[in-house]
Amino acid sequence: MAGHLRARLSIWIATVRGRLRVRERAAAIIVALALVIGPASVIVYGRWVDHGVVTVKAVQWAYLPNTIHAKAGVPVRLKITSEDVVHGFAINGIPVTISELIPGKAEYITFTPKTPGTYYYHCTTYCGLAHFKMVGRIIVTAGR
């Protein structure tokens, strides 16, 4: 009887080890795929996100840069930050508005200018005595 139990126990252990080997192989494959696909997707996604991103800094009392160039029909992605106090951001003629630019926090907006021309952006939140000077322009030229 003890020999029979010992034989069944050894069969059970071999089965468990076999299952573990299958699970270990599956886990190793998953980890390898994650190590290959993960960084690749981040690189590709990062290239897509950062491609053409224009960083605009709001400081008392200006936007840097104060002139942005774009093409009609091509999406524009802006990363807007405030360096000092709470500012706002809006573009005349394009439905884009940020009511509060919190210092140190980046806001992203994406828009596609439809027609060539000059669009002005300005601060929408009172930020001090020279608030009225916080303007910039987006010069949109024709075509791709």
- Backbone phi, then psi, for 36, in 5-degree steps? -90, -50
pTM summary value: 0.64
Q: Are 121 and 136 in contact (CB under 8 A)?
A: yes
- Band (pLDDT 50/70/90 cuts) for residue 28 is low
Domain limits, the chain: 1-51, 53-141
Tens of pLDDT, residue by residue over 86-138, are 999 999 999 999 999 999 999 999 999 999 999 999 999 999 999 999 999 99
What CATH number was assigned to the domain covering residues 53-141?
2.60.40.420
**What is the three-class DSSP state of 70?**
strand
Tens of pLDDT, residue by residue over 44-94, are 555 445 567 999 999 999 999 999 999 999 999 999 999 999 999 999 999
